[in-house]
Amino acid sequence: MASDSPKPLVLSNARVIDPARDLDAPGSVIIADGTILAAGPEAANQGAPYGAEIIDCAGAIAAPGLIDMCVSVGEPGAEHRETLASASDAAAAGGVTTICTMPETDPVIDDPALVDFILRRARDTASVNVHPIAALTKGLEGQEMTEIGLLQEAGAIAFSNGHKSVRNAQTMRRILTYARDFDALIVHHTEDPDLAGGSMNAGLNASWKGLSGIPREAEVIMIERDLRLVGMAKGKYHANLISTSDSAEAIRIGKDRGLNVTAGVSINHLTQNENDIGPYRTFFKMSPPLRNEDDRKAMIAALADGTIDILVSNHDPQDVETKRHPWAEAEDGAIGLETLLAAALRLYHSGDIELLPLLACMTCRPADRLGLETGRLTTGAPADVVVFDPDRPWVLEKSAIRSRSKNSPFEDARFSGRVLHTIVAGRPVYTYA
Amino acid sequence: MQADLFPHRHLLGIEGLQPQDILGLLDRAEAAVEVSRQVEKKKSVLSGRTQINLFFEASTRTQSSFELAGKRLGADVMNMAVSSSSVKKGETLIDTAATLNAMHPDLLVVRHHAAGAVHLLARKVDCSVVNAGDGPHEHPTQALLDALTIRRHKGKIARLTVAICGDIVHSRVARSNIILLNALGARVRVIAPSTLLPSGIEKMGVEVFRDMREGLKGVDIVMMLRLQRERMSGSFIPSVREYYRYYGLDAEKLSFAREDALVMHPGPMNRGVEIDPAVADGPQSLIREQVEMGVAVRMAVLEALAAHLPNQ
């Protein structure tokens, strides 16, 4: 089944958006042999390939399938929370055609054989593209660097210490220096582990709740340290999840200095703030913590002006065993693959950001940073496409969540924007019923 | 007894209570003080009811106070001490709640070391839940008994100046008292070294002092807090003797308060750490009376919640 090539496909009558080409125009997308043959207004005049299936998009948007470069999966070690198969089902339903998996599994992905394991499991069970991010240090302990060369050869797309920062500056400096020889991308969580000992954003809200706070400074201190190290080592660096205006400012300065630096933000930090926590609702506990409304707005502005390059779900499945605890004892993390696009469209509907740059943060920008061919609708690119109606309303019902874990901060949320079709390598993997 | 109904099923905190709810509980407690001082102390309001005291954190005074309160109202009281080790065996708080719920208690009195734990539990059980202290979050019955003690001596709460001194950041007593005293119109000060103040304290409805003599000037009530060394991870103060020098309540510092100022402490006291024994046991101290009021206030709370129990 996997070997025979898919039937040619024509997405007709679409509004074709391809951020890589700054294209937003009515047209078609023609797909054959798993790649894009043509996409845009010019494709509308081309004939359909012989035997092609034609999908009438009826004016819906056809865009490159989304790339989510921060996804935690429970495989191996916590398959009851999420497998590559269930994560890819969730991704497909959310219009995400490529996921980069975080190395925080059990065992940690710090060995080439484990990278190979993920890739083989993905090939056999996943319906979307899967690229493992390997561990930056052995066991994620922040002490010894992993075999960056061998891991990269095995298929690791980048290197990360998961949701833990490397505390030792000398270790980080060496890793950045060594990784440069392999042109490897370092994706770093940026929280000073000593300052970030609390369980929610520091401030009045935490004080009333009797919770110890994580100050905003914990983040910018780590980013500023890292940027100095990147300057020394000339490494390739991505601040994975930033959450404060100060952090955005630091990234901006780093870019102005000509450093090879990018930054990411999670959809949660663009659409929620610490007030959403309410009476200790642990589905809103995440790392970095949800900040205040000013920081949320600063994150949107930083995304709109290009300071932040990449938007991710930071999908992190957690179950009852890890979430139904008193706040401080519950695990961090929220699922988000299925709601990434719909939640992101809230920013478009609110007028905060245009559709083209919004989609760029989830398509061509992560693709360029990771060196992937996908994330665009240019001729010859892999045919990873999402078709969505940006206005169609829907409600996220818990029973309909495809992830094995149901820890969504968007439970019962109303969205405008529904994925209709998701196509991976020319094959439809999701169709809205 | 007061006919007006307490409009909440649980008592999870002072936050969310209206001034009339608080005053209603205090009035009820006044009556309970009288009951407790009689030879025949037993009432039957809770007869046939089961009260479980579920303490995830050790406590002598609060637990025995709730136990006595329940028994004086005629309830069957069971004490459950859940050591943190059995929690670590894998049973979550929710599992414990489900287990207890299956035994059909009517009232659940809960103390837990984590903020918000009692709220979580209250969402999962069918009975009325009383927060007997959740981490550094709230300890509503302590704030109520403090208010009752103050009112009995000063005749009012409104317009009194109350200074809360010491380890504010780790104190549930401080949070509940700040909310309650503000709700009833008192002026609240906090006095502490900056490392023992939560961030945003200046927006919590208090006046902030770092100097004890300055802060005690003209106050009616001095509330001391226990230095919670067990909650301190890392270094908050350099040493006990330095803390005592600047923030320990002795006669000299107390002399800056009003002449008729009264001294309170939620207990257990660290004599020589936050308070001089001579002050703790001196004529201005209400500390022992607070314990007596504790039983009365808890009777009032249990009785008020009992009105919501089914089949009443």
**How many whole angstroms separate alpha carbon B270 and alpha carbon B14?**
26
CB-closest option in A207, A320, A328 to B204: A207
Contacts of B204 in chain A (CB under 8 A): 204, 207-208
Nearest to B117 among A204, A213, A326 (CB): A326
Q: Which amino acid is at A354?
A: E
Distance from CA of B200 to the nearest CA of A (A): 5
Angle at the Cα of B311 from the Cα atoms of B306 and B312, rounded to 5 degrees: 45
Q: Does B175 touch chain A (CB under 8 A)?
A: yes
Q: List the alpha helices (DSSP H) in A210-339.
A: 217-233, 245-256, 267-271, 293-304, 320-323
Q: Measured between CB atoms, does A379 come within 8 Å of chain B? A: no
- pLDDT of B234 reads 66
Chain A segment 294-323 residues within 8 A of B by beta carbon are: 320-321
Helix (H) and strand (E) counts in chain A: 14, 18
- In chain B, the percentage of residues whose pLDDT exceeds 90 is 77
Chain A CB contacts of B169 under 8 Å are: 207
Which residues, 6+ apart, have CB-to-CB distance to B54 below 8 Å?
B80, B82, B96, B100, B108, B109, B110, B111
Distance CA A280, CA B119 (A): 8
Banded pLDDT at B89 (limits 50, 70, 90): low
Asked if B221 contacts B162 with a C-beta cutoff of 8 angstroms, the reply is yes
Q: What is the ipTM of this complex?
A: 0.88
Angle, in degrees to the nearest 10, between helices B140-154 and B287-306: 120
How would residue B58 be classed by pLDDT, with cut points 50, 70 and 90?
A: confident
The response to whether B49 counts as a known ligand-binding position is: no
* Mutate: best of A195, A205, A209, A282, partner B, most B CBs <10 A: A209
Residue B89 marked ligand-binding: yes
Rounded alpha-carbon distances, angstroms, from residue A56 to A32, A43, A44: 17, 14, 12
Residue of A nearest to B200 (CA): A204
Say if residue B7's pLDDT is above 70: yes
User: Which residue among A207, A321, A326 places its CB closest to the CB of B116?
Assistant: A326
Q: Chain B within 8 Å of A328 (Cβ-Cβ)?
A: yes
pLDDT value of position A210: 95
Give the mean model confidence (pLDDT) for residues B184-205: 96
**Residue A176 at interface with chain B, using a CB cutoff of 8 Å:** no
Neighboring chain A residues of B175 at a CB cutoff of 8 Å: 208, 210
Nearest-by-CA chain A residue for B124? A324
Torsions phi, psi of B119, nearest 5?
A: -60, -45
DSSP string, B14-47: STT--HHHHHHHHHHHHHHHHHHHSS-----TTT
Is B104 annotated as a binding-site member? no
Query: What pLDDT is recorded for position B2?
Result: 47
| CB distance A165 to A219 below 8 Å | no
Which of B173, B74, B145, B133 lies closest to B292, judged by CA?
B145
Question: DSSP readout, A106-163?
Answer: SS-S-SHHHHHHHHHHHHHH-SSEEEEEEESBGGG-SSSB--HHHHHHHT--EEE-TT
Give the best residue of A195, A207, A217 to mutate against chain B (max B CB count within 10 A): A207
Ligand-binding annotation for B142, yes or no, is: yes
β-partners of residue B264 are B223
Strands of chain B, DSSP E: 50-55, 76-81, 107-112, 128-134, 161-165, 187-191, 207-209, 221-224, 262-264
Q: Which residues of A touch B135 (CB under 8 A)?
A: 210-211, 326, 328
**pLDDT of A344:** 98
Query: pLDDT, tens digit, for every residue of A292-305?
Result: 999 999 999 999 99
Q: From chain B, pick out residues whose CB is under 8 angstroms from the CB of A292.
A: none
Bin A62: left if φ > 0, else alpha if -120 < ψ < 50, else beta: beta
What confidence score (pLDDT) does residue A324 get?
A: 87
The whole-number pLDDT of residue B70 equals 96
A203 touches chain B (CB under 8 A): yes
Give the CA radius of gyration of chain B.
19
Whether B199 sits inside 8 A of A208 (CB atoms) is no
pLDDT of res. B232: 67
Q: Are B180 and B14 in contact (CB under 8 A)?
A: yes
Domains of chain A: 9-62+382-431 (2.30.40.10), 65-370 (3.20.20.140)
Question: Distance between CA B242 and CA B235 in Å, rounded?
Answer: 13
Q: Name the 3-class secondary structure at B214.
A: helix
Give the dihedral of Cα atoms A372, A374, A378, A382; nearest 10 deg: 120
Q: What is the pTM of this model?
A: 0.91
CB atoms within 10 A of CB B136: 27
Residue B85 reports pLDDT greater than 70: no
Q: How many of the other CB atoms lie within 10 Å of CB of A387?
A: 26
- Cα–Cα separations (whole angstroms), residue A296 to A251, A302, A347, B226: 16, 10, 11, 38
Q: Which of residues 72-101 of B touch A (CB under 8 A)?
A: 92-94
Residues in chain A with pLDDT values less than 70? 1-4
B267 annotated as ligand-binding = yes
What pLDDT digit, counting tens, does each position of B223-275 carry?
999 998 776 666 889 888 899 999 999 999 999 999 999 999 998 999 999 99
Chain B residues whose CB is inside 8 A of the A320 CB are 92, 94
Q: Is A277 on the interface with B (CB under 8 A)?
A: no
| pLDDT exceeds cutoff 60 at B60 | yes
A269 in Cβ contact with A240 (< 8 Å): no
Angle between helices B172-183 and B19-37 (to 10 degrees): 110
Q: Is B204 on the interface with A (CB under 8 A)?
A: yes
How many other CB atoms are found less than 10 A from the CB of residue A400? 10
**How many residues belong to chain A?**
433
- Is B258 labeled as ligand-binding? no
**What distance in Å separates the CA atoms of residue A4 and residue A111, rounded to the nearest whole number?**
32
